[in-house]
Amino acid sequence: MGSNTTEAHPIIANRMKKAAKQGLKIIVIDPRKTDMAKISHRHLPIEVGSDIALINSIIHVILREKLYDQKWVAHHTDNVRELAIQVEAFTPEYAEAITGISAEDIVATAREYATASRGMIAYTLGITEHHCGVNNVLDIANLALLSGHIGKEGTGIMPLRGQNNVQGAGDMGCLPNMLTGAVSISNDHYRNRFENYWGVEIPSNIGDTQTRTFEKMENGEIKALFVIGENPLVADVHLNHTRKLFDKLELLVVQDIFLTETAKVADVVLPAKSWGEVEGTYINTDRRVQRVRKAVDAHPSTKEDWEILCDLSNIMGYEMKYSNSKEIWDEIRLLAWEQYGGISYERLEACYSIHYPCPSEDHPGTKVLHEHFHQDANSNSEKRKFVPVTYTPPIEQPDKDFPFILTTGRRYESYNTHTQTRYYASGIKIKQKEETVDIHPNDADRLNIEDGEMVEVSSRRGNLQVKAKITEQVAPGLVFMSFHWIEVPTNVLTINEYDPISGTAEFKACAVAIKRL
Amino acid sequence: MVNQIKTICGYCGTGCGLIVEVENNIINKIRGDKEAPVNKGQTCVKGAFAFEYVHSKNRLTTPLIRKQGVLVESSWEEALTLIGENLQKIKEKWMPNAISMFACARSTNESNYITQKFMRAVIGSNNIDGCNRT
Q: Give the CATH number of the domain where residue A191 resides.
A: 3.40.50.740
CA terminus-to-terminus distance, chain B: 42
ipTM comes to 0.98
Instruction: Indicate if A27 and A140 belong to the same structural domain.
Output: yes
Cis peptide, bond prior to residue A357, ω within 30 of zero: yes
Interface touch A229/B79, C-beta < 8 Å: no
Q: Report the residue of A180, A192, A210 to disrupt the B interface, i.e. the one with the largest count of B CBs within 10 Å.
A: A210
Q: What is the pLDDT of residue A375?
A: 83
- Residue among B61, B104, B113 whose CB faces A173 most closely: B113
- Per residue in A350-374, pLDDT (tens digit) is 999 999 999 999 999 999 999 989 8
Looking at chain A from residue 344 to 373, which residues have their Cβ under 8 Å from any Cβ of chain B?
352-353
Q: How far is the C-alpha of A111 from the C-alpha of A61, rounded, in Å? A: 8
* Domain B2-55 CATH superfamily: ADC-like domains (2.20.25.90)
Instruction: Indicate if A171 and A142 belong to the same structural domain.
Output: no
Q: What CATH number did the domain enclosing A129 receive? A: 3.40.228.10
Q: How far is the C-alpha of A355 from the C-alpha of B73, rounded, in Å? A: 44
Instruction: Indicate if A170 and A139 belong to the same structural domain.
Output: no
> Do the beta carbons of residue A188 and residue A108 sit within 8 Å?
no
Instruction: Indicate if A198 and A344 belong to the same structural domain.
Output: yes
Q: Return the amino acid letter for A31.
A: P
User: What are the C-alpha distances in Å from A151 to residues A69, A74, A370, A373?
Assistant: 15, 17, 4, 6
Give contacts of B53 with chain A, Cβ < 8 Å.
Answer: 257-258, 274, 419-423
b/e per residue A420-430 (b: at least 16 CB within 10 A) = bbbbbeeeeee
b/e per residue B47-59 (b: at least 16 CB within 10 A) = bbbbbbbbeeeeb
> Do the beta carbons of residue A478 and residue A509 sit within 8 Å?
no
- Per residue in A226-241, pLDDT (tens digit) is 999 999 998 888 888 8
Nearest CA in chain A to B57: A258
User: What are the C-alpha distances in Å from B8 to residues A224, A230, B39, B114?
Assistant: 34, 20, 11, 21
- pTM over 0.90, yes/no: yes
Instruction: Indicate if A44 and A148 belong to the same structural domain.
Output: yes
pLDDT grade for A426, boundaries at 50, 70 and 90: confident
- Per residue in A483-510, pLDDT (tens digit) is 999 999 999 999 999 999 999 999 999 9
Looking at chain A from residue 8 to 47, which residues have their Cβ under 8 Å from any Cβ of chain B?
8-12, 14
Q: What is the pLDDT of residue B134?
A: 62
> Do the beta carbons of residue A153 and residue A355 sit within 8 Å?
no
Q: What is the mean pLDDT of residues A407-423?
A: 92
Instruction: Indicate if A116 and A262 belong to the same structural domain.
Output: no
Domain membership flag for residue A453: yes
Q: How far is the C-alpha of A77 from the C-alpha of B128, rounded, in Å? A: 35
Domain membership flag for residue A365: no
Give contacts of A126 with chain B, Cβ < 8 Å.
Answer: none
Residue A105, SS3 per DSSP:
helix
Average per-residue pLDDT for chain A: 96
Nearest to A434 by CA among A469, A473, A471: A469
Q: What is the pLDDT of residue B132?
A: 75
Give, as one character, the DSSP assignment of residue B27: E
Q: What is the pLDDT along chain B (134 residues), one digit of tens a residue?
A: 899 999 999 999 999 999 999 999 999 999 999 999 999 999 999 999 999 999 999 999 999 999 999 999 999 999 999 999 999 999 999 999 999 999 999 999 999 999 999 999 999 999 999 877 76
Question: Does residue B122 sit at the A interface (CB-CB below 8 Å)?
Answer: yes
Q: How far is the C-alpha of A510 from the C-alpha of A337, rounded, in Å? A: 44
Domain membership flag for residue A374: no
Please, what is the angle between helix A51-64 and helix A133-147, to 10°? 20
Question: Does residue B107 sit at the A interface (CB-CB below 8 Å)?
Answer: yes
Instruction: Indicate if A183 and A227 belong to the same structural domain.
Output: yes
Domain membership flag for residue A387: no
User: What are the C-alpha distances in Å from A449 to residues A224, A302, A422, A438, A514?
Assistant: 46, 49, 29, 12, 10
Q: Which domain holds residue A413?
A: 404-516
Express as a percent the part of chain A with pLDDT over 70.
Answer: 99
| Whether the predicted pLDDT of A376 surpasses 70 | no
Q: Return the amino acid letter for A100.
A: G
The least confident of A23-27, A271-275, A315-319, A423-427 is: A423-427
Residue A422, SS3 per DSSP:
coil
**Strands annotated E in A257-403:** 268-271, 280-283, 288-292, 353-355
Instruction: Tell me how many domains chain A contains.
Output: 3
Domain membership flag for residue A204: yes
